[in-house]
Amino acid sequence: MEEYIVSARKYRPMSFDSVVGQSALTTTLKNAVKSGKLAHAYLFCGPRGVGKTTCARIFAKAINCQHPTAEGEACNECESCKAFNEQRSYNIFELDAASNNSVDNIKTLMEQTRIPPQIGRYKVFIIDEVHMLSTQAFNAFLKTLEEPPAHVIFILATTEKHKILPTILSRCQIYDFERMTVPSIINHLKMVAQKEGITYEDEALNVIAEKADGGMRDALSVFDQAASFCQGNITYAKVIEDLNVLDSDNYFNIVNLCLENKAAEVMVLLNNIIAKGFDGGNLIGGLANHVRNVLMAKDSQTIPLLEVSEQQAAKYKEQAAKCPTKFLYKALKIMNECDINYRQSSNKRLLVEITLIRVAQITQPDDEGASVGRSPKRLKSLFKKLIAASQQKTVQQVAAAAAPLQQGELRAANGGAISSPQQESINPSSSQTAPLSAPSATPTPSAAAPKGPALKLGSIGKSFANLRRGPEKPVYEKEAEKKQTGQHETFDEDMLILQWMSMCNRMPDTMTGTATRLKNITPEITNFPEIEIIADNKMLLEDIQKIKGRIRNTLIQTLHNDDIELTLRLARPEEVKKILSPKELYEELCNNNPAIKKLGDLLSLQFT
């Protein structure tokens, strides 16, 4: 029986032209061989399985070839090439720095550099995984690397370039190897399959190429495994089964169901996937990568970023045409939150189910028909509408009651000059008792006074306008002019909160206290683009009222919407949150999460 050799060794490239996916780099090396302009040290770096050591061997053989071709390739006929091919060359040395990383190993290597080559022009030392050398070994290597003998060339290879000392990097010509693309891996696997007499399906090779993650050696190893399992006929179904990979059709189905708000069908599909032995975290990770690919397929400029076959790319384009961009953005955000919290979750399946339900509700309409039910999203919208209606009713009642109060104040100030409500007409909007949430509110017809002779404030010793104005206001309290940007873009509460916090961080040092208290406020969109700001106390409400215009202008510029309006009001008693002390906060955490209480008992934590 013939000895079996794995494909990664059997089909290892023996010339520059046979190297896959590194055409620019191999062209540079061939030109260096043709011109004879060789550096004394090279550094090949890049991810695993992309051809670093293979290119180092090919380059070393071409350097010592006695009759190189016009293209810079080795002839494979001279004594030097034959000795290298038969693994008996004394001019090319390979050292594994992972197991020979001490100072003594480097000193032994330096002693070998003194002996000139017997056949050929150069002694080539290939040091693999050079980042594993100790700091002392690197320092012992420095002097020889900087000024080696004329007959010595060093080729260093590593997967972790950042671990190499800068003094080493500055003495080498650095070549960065690229990750293999999925199409290049598929083409190479097709060549191997034809030579081995193995039949295949294109979709099966695509799965293998994606599983390899840019490494040709990994792709060939998986290919051998699949060929053994499939007995020479590599099919998509068998590859999925052998590699335990979730079928991409499941991801397409989940996204289609979420677009139609079919959360129940998504739960059934999730149950079937978990029943097959797939982990929920891997499902969320794969679905996030799928949504990312759909997002890339929406624009012709980003389609080349899809590392999939042509058939898969066509599927992504078809689904991208149905998916709104906002849906894809929010889905990615939700799944990223799930991925962050997955390891800490005690009920991982519930976390995955909630995540998929949230994704299925992204495109759910906010209407209030009789048959739409009461989802959390619609309940939130309903509560906002009820609150807005209640506030409008309160504003009208207060405005109606303001007219007689103002008339009483004027009568007392004028020594009884106003004898009856029918004699004078006062505008309620000028009263100081008007609510801050509706400064321009007008009284109801029933509360308005009939027209009469206007009161001349100039006849009084000092006008009310001067009394109310008081001292000159600071610059930041002066009413700002209404900004206009000519934009009317939509925004959500997440964007609003982000810009609100950014505004607080940019406020001047003279308003540090106000900025700190504003950070504790969460503005809400009541009726787009109207924004409601709720203050916990009257003092904070007055401070916000002074800078209301500047807050509005800032939000207009950052959220790109000229229609933004601000509404201020005082929080109701039930809306005021109690500020917990550290001890009360710890007790609340223990009550909500028994694991924290158990940890505190084990560590004997106590508040002093």
Residue-range domain boundaries for the chain: 7-176, 182-243, 248-360, 493-575
Q: What is the 3-state secondary structure (H, E, C) of 505-562?
A: HHCCHHHHHHHHHHHCCCCEEEECCEEEEEECCHHHHHHHHHCHHHHHHHHHHHHCEC
Helix axes 23-35, 52-64, angle to 10 degrees: 20
Give me the phi and psi of 56, to 5 degrees please.
-65, -40
The CATH-assigned architecture of domain 182-243 is Orthogonal Bundle (1.10)
* C-beta separation of 55 from 29 below 8 A: yes
SS3 432: coil
Those residues with Cβ within 8 angstroms of residue 150's Cβ, 6 or more apart along the chain or in another chain:
none
pLDDT for the residue 443: 44
Distance CA 545, CA 301 (A): 48
Pair of tokens at residue 298: 């929406």
Nearest Cα to Cα of residue 412 among 464, 346, 360? 464
Where residue 607 falls (left for φ over 0; alpha for ψ -120 to 50; beta otherwise) is beta
Q: Euclidean distance between the first and final Cα of the chain, in Å?
A: 78
**Integer angstrom CA distances of residue 452 from 130, 423, 426, 448, 457:** 97, 5, 9, 12, 15
* C-beta separation of 16 from 54 below 8 A: no
Distance CA 414, CA 254 (A): 75
Strands 233-234 and 199-200: parallel
How far is CA 177 from its chain centroid? 26
pLDDT for the residue 239: 87
Distance CA 442, CA 431 (A): 12
**Integer angstrom CA distances of residue 37 from 29, 40, 498:** 10, 10, 57
Query: What's the pTM?
Result: 0.55
The CATH-assigned architecture of domain 493-575 is 2-Layer Sandwich (3.30)
Distance CA 129, CA 53 (A): 10
Those residues with Cβ within 8 angstroms of residue 540's Cβ, 6 or more apart along the chain or in another chain:
517
pLDDT for the residue 418: 41
Handedness of CA 242, 245, 246, 249 (dihedral sign): negative
Domain 7-176 coded CATH 3.40.50.300:
yes
**Integer angstrom CA distances of residue 196 from 1, 3, 6, 193:** 16, 15, 11, 5
Residue ranges in the chain modelled with pLDDT below 70: 1-2, 366-483, 577-579, 607-608
Handedness of CA 320, 324, 328, 329 (dihedral sign): positive
Distance CA 254, CA 267 (A): 10
Give me the phi and psi of 199, to 5 degrees please.
-85, 155
Q: Considering only the C-alpha atoms of the chain, give the largest distance between any 2 of them, rounded to a whole number of Å.
A: 125
Q: Which residues pair with 565 in a beta bridge?
A: 530
Q: Radius of gyration over alpha carbons of the chain, in Å? A: 38
Distance CA 300, CA 317 (A): 10
Pair of tokens at residue 142: 């420095």
Element (H, E) at 449: none
CATH of domain 248-360: 1.20.272.10
Element (H, E) at 255: helix 248-259
Those residues with Cβ within 8 angstroms of residue 412's Cβ, 6 or more apart along the chain or in another chain:
none
Handedness of CA 559, 563, 569, 571 (dihedral sign): negative
Pair of tokens at residue 424: 């004078």
SS3 310: helix
Beta strands in 311-470 (DSSP E): none
* C-beta separation of 166 from 43 below 8 A: no
SS3 446: coil
* C-beta separation of 107 from 66 below 8 A: no
Pair of tokens at residue 246: 């979730």
Distance CA 14, CA 3 (A): 21
* C-beta separation of 523 from 535 below 8 A: no
Strands 530-535 and 524-527: antiparallel
Where residue 49 falls (left for φ over 0; alpha for ψ -120 to 50; beta otherwise) is left
Half-sphere exposure of 91 toward its Cβ, with a 13 Å CA cutoff? 27
Count CB atoms within 10 A of the CB of residue 360. 23
Pair of tokens at residue 454: 């206007």
